[in-house]
Structure 1
Amino acid sequence: MANAAIELVNLKKTIGKKEIIKGLSFSIQPGEVFGFIGPNGAGKTTTIRMMVGLISITEGDVLIQGNSIKTDFKKAIREVGAIVENPEMYPFMTGWQNLKHYARMMPGVTKERMQEVVKLMGLEKPIHERAGKYSLGMRQRLGIAQALLHKPSVLILDEPTNGLDPAGIREMREHIRKLAKEQNVAIIISSHLLSEIEQMCDRIGIIKNGKLIKLQQVGEVENDNLLHHLKVAPMDQAKQILNEQLQLEAVELDGNLSFRCKKEQIPKIITCMVENNCAIYQITTANGSLEDQFFALIGENTIE
C-alpha cells in the first residue's frame, strides 16, 4: 500500500532448518494504533526484531515509508522510534537532561521539539526533577518522549503498560491515543493485556506459530461462533433439545444453558423450545470480547 507507514511483505525467518516466521504480510497506516498479539513462542518478538533491523530477514521485506530495511536501512530506521518494557535512563540526571543527552545523538532535534514532546506526554511539571525519583509511569512517558524526539513515522511499544497501576494504565492509554491522533504516527503495541489492547487499538493482528491467523478491526464481532446464554425450564429437557434435535453443544453454567451458534439460528431455537413446552425466561448473547476471540482462535491460555 503506497501510503502505509510500515508494510511487511511476505516476511520470513528461518533459523537452521526451522521456519520461525512464515510469510507475514500486512500494513499499518499513519495515525493507526495496531495491536500485535499471540501466544508464547508465536514469533512476535522475532517479527519486531526484523522490523527494526536487529536480526536479519531470511526472505521478504519490511518497508517503512516505502524504504526497505534490507536495502536502505539508515533511511528506513530513521522513521522508527521504539521503547521496550522499562526504558533505561540516567537516574542522577533530570528528565530534561536525559532528553537533551538523547537529542544530541539525533540530527535536527531542536529545543522546541523537546518542549513539544514534553508537553505531549504531560511531563511539564516533573521534567526538571531527577529521573531517579520518577514513578514507573513517568519513566514510561519519558521513554516515549525520547522515542518521539526525531519525529518518527512508526512507534513500536513493547508492553507499554507493564507494571503500571490502573490509573497509570488509563493515563498511558490516553497518551497513546493522543499520540496517534495529533502526531499522525503509526503505533504498534505488543502486549499481553488483551483488555487494554481492545481499548487502545484500532486494529489487531493475531500471530500463531509464525503465521498471521487473524487481522481485524477492534470491536468487529464474528457472526459464526457467538456465545449465547439461555435461562429456561425445564433445563434438562431444553439441554436435550439443543444437543440432540438442534445439534448444538450446550453446557449448564450459572443456572443457564450456554452454547455457540450463528445469531440467525436463535429464532429457530426459541420456536423449538416453545413447541416443546419449555419456558424461556431470558436469552443473552456474549459481547464477543477480544479475549474470547483470542482464545477461540488460539486454543491456549498462555500469551507473551
Structure 2
Amino acid sequence: MEQVAMQLQNLKKTIGNKEIIKGLSFDIRPGEVFGFLGPNGAGKTTTIRMMVGLMGITEGDVLIQGKSIKSDFKQAIRNVGGIVENPEMYPFMSGWKNLQHYARMIPEIQEERIQEVVSLVGLDKAIKEKVGRYSLGMRQRLGIAQALLHRPTILILDEPTNGLDPSGIREIRKYIRRLAEEENVAVIVSSHLLSEIELMCDRIGIIKNGELIAIETMKDTMQDSKVKDVLIEVTPVEQAEAFLKEQLEIPVKVEDNMIAISTEKSEIPGVVKKLVSNEFQVFGVYVQKSTLEDKFLDLIGENTIE
C-alpha cells in the first residue's frame, strides 16, 4: 500500500449552524508538493488550521503519519512544520541567533542541525547578519529553516510567496521543490498564485464553498486535451474566414486579424492544406496551450474570484 504522510478523513467544521468545511477527504504523500487552491473564503485557511490543531474539528479527523490530531495531538504534531504568511522573527538578532533561540524549545536539536537547515535553504552567507536587514525572501527562507529544524515529515506553507518579488518567488519555489525531492518532505502549499502552483506542485486539490471539487495530478491537468484552440495567420483573412465557414462544420471567427477555430489536433494539417491549395497565404499556425488558470476557472466559475 502506498505510504501516506497526512490523511484528511471526512473533515467538517461547523460554526454556529453554518457548515464551513463539508467533509474533506484526501491523502498527501511523502516527497510530493501538494497545492491547495480555492477562491477567497473557500475554506483553505480554516482547513489548514484544523490540520495543525489551531482550530477544533467538528467531525472527522486528520491523521499525520497515522497519528490522530484529535486523540494523539502531541505525537501527531511533532511531524509537522509550518509557516503561515510572513514568519515573525527578532529583527535585532542574527538569523543564526533566531534559529538557536527557537531550537532551545525543542529537545535534541544540535548545532549541526541548525547548520544543515541553513545550508538547505541557502542562507549560509547571510545567517550571521541581523534579520532586520533581510529581504522578505530571505525572511521567508529563514522561516522555512525554522519550520524544518525538528525534521518534520510534513511542511505546511500558507501563502509562502506572499509579498515577494519575482526573484524571491522563484527562490522559494526552488527550495520547496528541493525539500520534497531531497528530504522526502510532504509539502502542502496554499496559494492564490496559480502560475506558481503550476510550476511547483505535483498534485492539486481545489476547494470551493468548503467542498473538495477536484484533486488532480499536475501532469494530467496540463496535458493537452484533444480539442485545441488554434489561431491561423492567413491573408486575405476575411476571404479565408468565409471559405472555412463553407468548408468546416465548426465555428470559425476572426480574432486579432487571425482565424480562430477549435478543433482536434489531427484535423489541423487538413485545414492548413485546404487554405494553401486554395491560394491563401498561411504565415503561421499557433496552438494555444491551456493553463492551470483556465482549468481552475472552469472548475470554480469565473465570477467567484474576488
**TM score, norm. by length of structure 2:** 0.87
Checking the alignment, whether the CA contact within 8 Å between 1:10 and 1:24 is kept in structure 2 is yes
Gaps of 5+ in 2: none
In structure 2, what is the equivalent of residue 75 of structure 1?
75
Alpha-carbon distance between aligned partners in 2 of 1:238 and 1:45, rounded to the nearest angstrom:
54
Q: Give the paired residue count.
A: 300
In structure 1, what is the equivalent of residue 126 of structure 2?
126
Checking the alignment, whether the CA contact within 8 Å between 1:2 and 1:66 is kept in structure 2 is no
Structural mapping, 1:1-304, within 5 Å: 3-220=3-220, 221=223, 223=225, 226-231=228-233, 233=237, 234-237=239-242, 240=245, 246=249, 248=251, 251-260=253-262, 262-263=264-265, 279=280, 281=282, 282-300=284-302, 303=305
Alpha-carbon distance between aligned partners in 1 of 2:244 and 2:7, rounded to the nearest angstrom:
49
Alpha-carbon distance between aligned partners in 2 of 1:294 and 1:239, rounded to the nearest angstrom:
32
1:285–1:55 Cα change, 3 Å: same
What SS class does the counterpart of residue 8 from structure 1 fall into?
Answer: strand
Checking the alignment, whether the CA contact within 8 Å between 2:64 and 2:79 is kept in structure 1 is yes
1:180-239 Cα distance to aligned partner (Å, 9 max, x none): 111110001111211111111111111112222222222323626643334454254257
Alpha-carbon distance between aligned partners in 1 of 2:96 and 2:111, rounded to the nearest angstrom:
10
Q: Which amino acid aligns with 1:106?
A: I
Alpha-carbon distance between aligned partners in 1 of 2:257 and 2:76, rounded to the nearest angstrom:
57
Q: Which amino acid aligns with 2:151?
A: K
Checking the alignment, whether the CA contact within 8 Å between 2:240 and 2:280 is kept in structure 1 is no
Alpha-carbon distance between aligned partners in 1 of 2:26 and 2:224, rounded to the nearest angstrom:
20
Alpha-carbon distance between aligned partners in 1 of 2:30 and 2:204, rounded to the nearest angstrom:
15
Alpha-carbon distance between aligned partners in 2 of 1:104 and 1:142, rounded to the nearest angstrom:
16
What SS class does the counterpart of residue 219 from structure 1 fall into?
Answer: helix
1:283–1:296 Cα change, 3 Å: farther
Q: Which amino acid aligns with 2:35?
A: G
Gaps of 5+ in 1: none
1:246-300 Cα distance to aligned partner (Å, 9 max, x none): 354x5532123435455466578779x66x9695835432221112211222222
**TM score, norm. by length of structure 1:** 0.88
Alpha-carbon distance between aligned partners in 1 of 2:33 and 2:41, rounded to the nearest angstrom:
23
Deviation at 1:116, TM superposition (A): 0.5
Query: Share of identical aligned residues, percent?
Result: 61
Checking the alignment, whether the CA contact within 8 Å between 2:158 and 2:191 is kept in structure 1 is yes
C-alpha root-mean-square deviation of aligned residues, in Å?
A: 2.7
Q: Which amino acid aligns with 1:12?
A: K
1:143–1:261 Cα change, 3 Å: same
Greater mean deviation of Cα atoms: 120-129 or 214-223? 214-223
1:145-191 Cα distance to aligned partner (Å, 9 max, x none): 00000101110111111222222122111111111111110001111
Deviation at 1:6, TM superposition (A): 0.8
Alpha-carbon distance between aligned partners in 2 of 1:45 and 1:52, rounded to the nearest angstrom:
11
Q: Which amino acid aligns with 2:163?
A: G
Alpha-carbon distance between aligned partners in 2 of 1:10 and 1:293, rounded to the nearest angstrom:
25
1:186–1:255 Cα change, 3 Å: same
Alpha-carbon distance between aligned partners in 2 of 1:168 and 1:288, rounded to the nearest angstrom:
26
Checking the alignment, whether the CA contact within 8 Å between 2:250 and 2:262 is kept in structure 1 is no
Q: Which amino acid aligns with 1:128?
A: K
1:55–1:227 Cα change, 3 Å: farther
Checking the alignment, whether the CA contact within 8 Å between 2:68 and 2:76 is kept in structure 1 is yes
Alpha-carbon distance between aligned partners in 1 of 2:224 and 2:155, rounded to the nearest angstrom:
29
What SS class does the counterpart of residue 53 from structure 1 fall into?
Answer: coil
Greater mean deviation of Cα atoms: 256-265 or 59-68? 256-265
Alpha-carbon distance between aligned partners in 2 of 1:181 and 1:254, rounded to the nearest angstrom:
43
